[in-house]
Chain A
Amino acid sequence: MTIVQNPHTPQADAPATESGATRLIARSKRVIASNPSVLPTGAAIVIFVGMVIYGEIAYGRILQYNTVSNLFINNAHLIILAVAMTFVILTGGIDLSVGAVIALSSVAGVMLANAGWNPLVVIVLMILIGTTMGLVSGILIQFFNVQPFIATLAMMFLGRGLAALLSTQPERLGDESPILWLGEQFKLIDGPKVNDVVITPGVIIAVIVVLIAFFVLHRTRTGRTVYAIGGSESSSALMGLAVPRTKVLVYVISGTLAGVAAVVYTSRLGIAQNITGIGWELDAIAATVIGGTLLTGGYGFVLGSVVGALVLGLMNVLITRDGGIPPEMTTIITGGILLIFVILQRAVTSKWRT
């Protein structure tokens, strides 16, 4: 029983005789047609590759072991934050509190560790501080109907204030603290001179976070609900999806991952301060947007956000390498890249959403 005539021209499957390359093109055309949101993410990857090539030609020594290793080591915390922000932005929300959460969590963690607490307990507590902050944001947003912007802004001030209450001095982890192990560099490949492949447990944590996030978003009902909420919250509720629970959950995830990022960052630097992480929430948002996630929610990928974080990290490397660009230009360039992506997204969505 056919009700309405097929409005689409039937898509002919590529004949088996065609070459693999043609099939690959046909397949990617299909992927783009069925999911136009891959375009901004694809653009992010193209820009990243372009930056690598440009850097290699202009300054050299980009595509080598130690540069790449450092890129990951120095940006592990930003990758984690960008992943967290992806969850929130996919639902159409925003979390401005992550930078402050890092400050609070790391200052508290370092002070507790220095007070002789068991390092494992300290790490768990640092993460739980983030979880709690995220839970409060989520409850405010879902059950008290506060705008995500306002709720997380309040949590940002709260976190910053609490961190300042704890200490306004740089708190240094004791040199023997086992927490520092997470930031310790392990040589995987011993290259010539200092050109080694190095990795820290912090980077491994970031990779694990990315993998788990990918699994949750693409292979669980909770993850799909996150996308559905971004598409339309009221529709999702009327479709019988667990909207309230999921909305609280994304802020809990965001807070928790901010706690994890605090652990990773603190273990690398060994210092915590109440002014740590100022503006990082904006870096995370920028990474997420550059990675192709739509600020209005519903479209985006975790892997895109990782690329976004790496774009920002690589940009800093290139500016340092150049030497001629004043560091003040960093923010301007970041802003420029961000703007290009937002405009690109506009173009993509206006074409597909009408």
Chain B
Amino acid sequence: MTDTLPIVEMRDISIEFPGVKALDGVDFRLFPGEIHALMGENGAGKSTLIKALTGVYRIDGGSIVVAGQERQFTGTRDAQSAGVSTVYQEINLVTNLTIGENVMLGHEVRGAFGINWRATHAAATRALAGLGLDYLDTHMPLSTLSIAMQQLVAISRAMAIKAKVLILDEPTSSLDAAEVDGLFRVMRSLRDQGVAILFVSHFLDQIYAISDRLTILRNGRWEGEYPTRELDRHSLISKMIGKDLRALSSLGGSRRVDQRDYESDAPLFAAKGLARRGSIEPTDLDIHRGEVLGFAGLLGSGRTELARLLYGADRADEGETTLHGKRVDIKNPADGLEKRIAFSTENRRDEGIIADLTVRENMILAMQAERGWAKPIPRKEQDELVAKYITALNVRPSDPNRLIKNLSGGNQQKVLLGRWLATNPELLILDEPTRGIDVGAKAEIQEAVVELAENGVSVVFISSELEEVVRLSERIVVLKDHQKIGEIVNGPEITAQHVVDVIAAHGVEAAAESDIIDAEDEHDPDTSTPTRTPQASTRAYAATEEES
């Protein structure tokens, strides 16, 4: 297909947001009749590139050529009229109108007396028929459909307006396996009709199942464009996370390993079949007293989603949790805090610190919230507490009255850690506590984590840096595609490579089972790794779940 001209050619695209280079010299080509996967971790610039193409963002450098003409769209509307149609991850339809209207909005068939509704609904039915959905009653409100069906309606809409380029940004994240198969059939049939499809998904299996070529982005930079079948999973993951896996594996493994007897030691916190549709598949989990439990997996693998279920930010659809052997239902974060489960967010700036408050105020926030606002913490107690954590965590500068926004990221993180420690938690969940902070602060936070565990606090440690997880954790829960795919008991022989192997091997197994691609990957899963795979096929629950 590369002998034809690309329908979309983006060259040397740069986009800057204040202080951040979101895209830096990215090239991207899309040919008619291909399914092209755009790969990269969260924050690599995939969505930014899509928004640059559709004109939601203006580009600061580079050129975009669509169908032979240099274009800079002014927005979705403009892009749509040039045949570039986008289906976003969050379904962008309006639930207050009918199915037919959602397909045809802005393109209704008009006659002498305004919109001809009969013809409009007929056209909508024709568009839906392309996806085999012509049995839908287009007069029913969209809200009567399941999320998956809405996603398919959104794709029908893209087809109703005769798209030449179809952009699918994570269309599969809310679909179950059967629905994904259906979507893939549609995508292949569109491809065969000459539509160029840009596909974004965090699910590697899906990428290998459907895409012809892929482009990899990392940290806003172009990492390469490959035919999908010529790039094995290991190389793909390496390029996405930007580190040679062999180099990675030389680090880590220095963590002392408890000779804990996991069978007899009753866990502090246990979850059984914990699941939430669209965010995490049923998961079993034990957390022991004074243990550091690592969550490893690529960004978007479900690490944060799982953590959110543990402390009550999201409610689980099913499964049960026990604390101290007693069944508990954690309704919300405040409830979690009351049960002495604390969570420190990965989104330090937006969900963590309150920029315009001082270090002291930020630090006592959670403790005060736990006590209730009617009982203010006496100033003296505040001072003692804050001084204690500033010293213990080595917050610099050590002035409690400084506004937190003037501290470096690493020190902000220490203040946040102090905030949760002040609540005296039994279980502390740290989501990416070391992201974006300098090496020194990172080491200090890691030390603090180890120390906490030694003092009997259970810590769930989530990080994208596998070496860090391996170094700190006693056990590592490996997540991929929103499910727990394994659990590794840490030991001197365990390295980041083992974790990567578990992640990569899982995909190969799944792919080999379903005969979608040839197992061309020569890396065998390391059989010496003590791996517990979760029982139960994880997709089954989705199919039986009622449509909302």
Contacts and interface: CB of A to CB of B under 8 A. Distances in A.
Contact of B141 (A1, A36, A241): A36
Interface string A1-29: 11110111011000000000000000000
Interface stretch (B101-109, B289-297, B422-430, B503-511): B101-109
Contacts of B91: 235
A3 B133 CA distance: 7
Nearest to A352: B143
A241 B115 contact: no
Contacts of A234: 92
Given A219-B115, A298-B96, A34 B139 contact: yes
Contacts of A239: 76, 92-94, 105-106, 157
A157 to B, nearest CB: 31
B158 to A, nearest CB: 10
Interface stretch (B9-17, B178-186, B253-261): B178-186
Interface stretch (B145-153, B464-472, B522-530): B145-153
Contacts of A221: 105-106, 108, 110, 115
Interface in B104-143: 105-106, 108, 110, 113-115, 131-133, 135-137, 139-141, 143
Nearest to A33: B140
Contacts of A224: 97, 101, 105-106, 108, 115
A39 to B, nearest CB: 13
B339 interface: no
Given A225-B106, A239-B76, A241-B105, A232 B186 contact: no
A11 B135 CA distance: 11
Interface string A132-168: 0000000000000000000000000000000000000
A329 interface: no
A33 B547 CA distance: 17
Contact of B132 (A1, A227, A231): A1
Interface in B60-119: 75-77, 79-81, 86, 88, 91-98, 101, 105-106, 108, 110, 113-115
Q: Which of B105, B143, B152, B179 has the most CB of A within 10 A?
A: B105
Contacts of A220: 114-115
Contacts of B141: 34-36, 352
B185 A3 contact: yes
A237 interface: yes
A228 B97 CA distance: 7
B514 interface: no
A230 interface: yes
A230 B96 contact: yes
A331 interface: no
A58 to B, nearest CB: 39
Interface residues of B, number: 50
A30 B86 CA distance: 33
B548 interface: yes
A240 interface: yes
Contacts of B95: 231-232, 353
A352 B152 CA distance: 21
B132 A8 contact: no
Contacts of B106: 221, 224-225, 239-242
Nearest to A233: B94
A220 B105 CA distance: 11
A213 to B, nearest CB: 13
A354 interface: yes
Nearest to A30: B139
Nearest to A7: B547
Contacts of B81: 240
Contacts of B42: none
A299 interface: yes
Contact of A4 (B79, B98, B140, B182): B182
A238 B86 contact: yes
A215 interface: yes
Nearest to B144: A8
Q: Which of B75, B157, B548 has the most CB of A within 10 A?
A: B75
Contacts of A215: 114
A316 interface: no
B495 to A, nearest CB: 44
B200 to A, nearest CB: 15
B520 to A, nearest CB: 30
A109 B76 CA distance: 44
Contacts of B96: 37, 227, 230-231, 298-299
A240 B115 contact: no
Contact of A7 (B108, B114, B149): B149
A4 B94 contact: no
Contacts of A232: 92-95
Contacts of B145: 7
A218 B97 CA distance: 12
A177 interface: no
A10 B178 CA distance: 22
B426 to A, nearest CB: 35
A240 B161 CA distance: 11
Q: Which of A11, A238, A353 has the most CB of B within 10 A?
A: A238
A2 B185 CA distance: 10
A67 interface: no
B186 A219 contact: no
A239 B145 CA distance: 18
A41 to B, nearest CB: 14
Given A239-B105, A298-B96, A2 B76 contact: no
A353 B179 CA distance: 23
B185 A4 contact: no
Contacts of B185: 1, 3
Contacts of A242: 77, 106
A334 interface: no
A236 interface: yes
Contacts of B149: 4, 7
B114 A219 contact: yes
A221 B86 CA distance: 21
A352 B179 CA distance: 25
A11 B144 CA distance: 14
Interface in B179-213: 179, 182-183, 185-186, 189
Contacts of A227: 94, 96-97
Interface string B392-430: 000000000000000000000000000000000000000
Contacts of B110: 221
Nearest to B148: A4
A240 B113 CA distance: 24
Nearest to A232: B94
Interface string A231-268: 11011111111100000000000000000000000000
A238 B115 contact: no
Interface in A37-55: 37
A234 B76 CA distance: 11
Given A3-B183, A34-B141, A234-B92, 5 more contacts: A35-B98, A221-B108, A235-B93, A240-B80, A299-B96
Interface of A: 1-4, 6-8, 10-11, 30, 33-37, 215, 218-221, 224-225, 227-228, 230-232, 234-242, 298-299, 352-354
The 10 nearest A-B residue pairs measured at CB: A219-B114, A231-B94, A3-B182, A298-B96, A231-B96, A1-B132, A240-B80, A240-B77, A235-B92, A238-B92
15 contacts: A3-B179, A3-B183, A8-B137, A33-B140, A34-B98, A34-B139, A37-B96, A219-B115, A224-B97, A231-B95, A238-B92, A239-B105, A240-B76, A242-B77, A352-B143
